Chains A and B, each alone.
Chain A
Amino acid sequence: MTVATAKPKAPPGRFGRFLKTAAIIFESRVATIGLFMVLFWIVAGLISLVWTPHDPNASDFMINQGSSAQNWLGTDALGRDVFSRVMAGTQVILLKTRIPDINWFGSFTTPNFVMPGGVAIWGVLGSLTLGSVLGLNAGYRGGWWDQAISQVMDALIAFPRIVLYLVVIAALGTGDLVMVLAISITGAPGIARLARSLALDIKTRDYIRAAETRGEGKTYIMFKEILPNALGPLLVDAMLRVGYAIFTIGTLGFLGVGLPPPEPDWGSMIADSRKFMRSTLYPILAPAFAISSLVIGLNLFADGLREEITRFQK
């Protein structure tokens, strides 16, 4: 760690402390590379909210064209600009979640409410919340709590992930909120396991003894004493899970049961362009590259961060 001697003003503010913590990222080359790969797509998505070269949903051009000065990555089978669509494809994953009207006659109504934060982000936040609550209870309370929670988590882990997704989708249909729910459910057991093992470790520490002697309640100890100390590894794990979630959203989109249109989605872009593989490759290669690079970026970022944190702890 670089020692911050340059600031004699004693306690740095919240933001200052955050910056200092964030500086860990740049100590690891792997994490830095990962961070920039992820930032690239976030920035691309943010820009696409206000500007894309062309309207991503408008069939303005000839179909299945190659790269040109007008369409940098060509056009797809409906004559839409691939570059704009790849840019805008970041939105549903990372930047916005569409909450549709309650309408029983089909899902093709315009969503009346858009929530900031993408499907992958909300899904992982959901599994982080669910998983850590369950895991902390199992680890700290022990006994029957542990038995029961671990058994249920084991059952959920036993499902091949994609099968569980397909089951949830068969039961609840497709949609942004269903996807958030599915990601939360499938991700929770893994996080619960991690939280449980962290809680088992942390609860033997002296400061937990001290809190117990003070007469603090169990909930207080779990969420005010254990959770802050377990947060680092949990967040790193959550970061990896954002990668898995993007991966799965892509796969389900490819299988035709992912996020609903009209917003472009990388997985369904590939599925739609598959039939025209012999004419043009851009609508397949561009989103494929997008998914892979985003997932690899998140992986690198999380791996590097984990290495740095564990070194720090040792």
Chain B
Amino acid sequence: MARFIFRSIISTIVTMLLVSITLFILLEFERPSVAKERPCSGIIRKILGIMATPEQCVSFRNQLGIDQPLPLRYVDWLAGNDWRAESKTGYPLVTLDNLNSGEEEWWMEVDGRYMQFEIDGEDLVALVRQEDGFVEREVMNDLWRPNDDGAGEQFWGVDNKGRAVKWLLGSGKTAFISTQTGWQEIDNAPDDYLPLRKGMLRGDPGFSLRTNRPVNSQIFRRIRNTALLAGLAFAVVMPLALVLGIVAGVNEGKLIDRVISVGGLFGTATPEFVTGMLLILVFAIWLKMFPAVSVFTTDKLSLSDWKKFALPVLTLTTVELGYIIRMTRASMVEVMNTSYIRTAIIKGMPFKRVVFKHAIRNALMAPITIIMLHVNWLIGGIVVVEAIFGYPGLGTYIYDSAIFGDVNALEASAMVTVLVAVVTRLLGDLAYTYLNPRIRYS
């Protein structure tokens, strides 16, 4: 058993690694020649739109750090690049919480003081962090170091956007930055950028390209919201589906079985969005019982707004009911045809007692573990339902990120869904092995 657990865990870790590689290559792979010839192609085109000029795209690529080779970026993404940046800056880099927003910011520790840097004309200006969270400006021109090729002076430091950057003294280099009012060309721009991140393994997926804020500031809230929705749906679906499945399984071949099975098939074969539309039609437009969208005005979702949860939960229920019913029914039918149940019936035991005492316990084991093995299927349903109703969960986050081309957010949230699926599958495997001695030692 210990060996089996060990093997499963190792295999799960390998799976996660493969998933991360797949995801990374899918989203960030680009042939270097293509990137050079058409800097605006691919995801950059998606983010910047079709009006961006090649110079802007090149500058943007540099700012995102995606002009580096793919394997290096993968390591950065997975394990972080602050250690790599530290070897360039020569000073330790730390993250401190912003006292206003609570978001993590990168600072460089110079002689016990925390600093970020910017360029003002020819001067290198340090923004020194005070106790109260405010900064004081200080000119620190003595930090300039000789350039790599000895021709001028350079400085590797941290700017105020969480990037390690290299300034060349008096280079006059310009960069294009995207602001709310459009593209801006700035002077005295850094020569090279390295967006700092701690890496997925240390729980930091980096900055969202859509909001320019850490993905972490959004994603945890989204996960919680989705967990709330999924939990509610689960609490409704499971008892209902198990009861209906058992009823159908016990009455195999009778009218009630046909009705339940065919009803379940229709529920499952109807796409989530169609079911959602029909429910909106009935409950929001005709009966006016529930709102047609789940848009919340605050960040903190609470169940006192239960009406807004009603339609998403109902949609999920309808869609997933049929599937679980089918599992339960099949399992129940199988158990009811075993010889020990026949024996119990023949020996004159009351039918109710046979079903409740003997059959159910064995019949429920399979569907519950099988459901755990198919959690990724259930997650898929939640993604669509969230997108239909505009529910502020992980699903809409994935959808919005995919539309925008926000690779950092998309990778992080996809990894979360895969992690949930893989871990529940592992647990399901273990539970199944534990509960079923027949396959335990094979």
Contact = CB atoms under 8 A, between A and B. Distances in A.
B138 to A, nearest CB: 43
A278 B380 CA distance: 29
B27 A170 contact: yes
Contacts of B407: 170
B271 A255 contact: no
A146 to B, nearest CB: 13
A114 interface: no
A231 interface: no
Given A167-B23, A257-B403, A278-B285, A288 B278 contact: yes
B324 interface: no
Interface string B76-97: 0000000000000000000000
A257 B383 CA distance: 14
A39 B105 CA distance: 61
A157 B376 contact: yes
B28 to A, nearest CB: 8
Given A160-B383, A162-B380, A291-B274, A154 B265 contact: no
B377 A160 contact: yes
Interface in A211-261: 243, 247, 250-251, 254-257
A311 to B, nearest CB: 16
Interface string B1-26: 00000000001001110110011001
Contacts of B410: 166-167, 170
A166 B18 CA distance: 18
A130 interface: no
A158 B380 contact: no
Contacts of B273: 250-251, 254-255, 267, 270-271
A160 B421 contact: yes
B433 interface: no
Interface residues of A, number: 44
Interface string A168-191: 111101000000000000000000
A155 B384 CA distance: 22
B15 A171 contact: no
B19 to A, nearest CB: 5
A284 interface: yes
Contact of A162 (B43, B277, B383): B383
Contacts of B259: none
B439 to A, nearest CB: 15
Contacts of B278: 288
B277 A167 contact: no
Interface in A78-122: 104-106
Interface residues of B, number: 51
Given A158-B422, A243-B269, A163 B417 contact: yes
Instruction: Name which of A152, A159, A288 has the most chain B CB atoms within 10 A of its CB.
Output: A159
Given A160-B380, A170-B407, A274-B277, A296 B265 contact: yes
Nearest to B19: A155
Nearest to B278: A288
A161 interface: yes
B233 to A, nearest CB: 15
A292 B271 contact: yes
A292 B270 contact: yes
A288 B398 CA distance: 25
B376 A167 contact: no
A295 interface: yes
Nearest to A164: B414
B15 A151 contact: yes
B43 to A, nearest CB: 7
A272 to B, nearest CB: 12
B418 A159 contact: yes
Interface in B187-243: none
B401 interface: yes
A173 B41 CA distance: 11
A163 B414 contact: yes
A173 B403 CA distance: 9
Given A292-B269, A292-B271, A156 B384 contact: no
A157 B380 CA distance: 12
Top 10 closest pairs, chain A to chain B, by CB: A155-B18, A166-B402, A170-B402, A160-B380, A160-B379, A288-B274, A254-B273, A162-B380, A160-B376, A296-B269
23 contacts: A151-B15, A156-B22, A158-B15, A160-B376, A163-B383, A163-B417, A166-B399, A168-B26, A170-B27, A171-B26, A243-B269, A251-B271, A254-B271, A255-B273, A255-B399, A270-B277, A277-B285, A278-B285, A281-B281, A288-B274, A291-B271, A296-B266, A299-B269
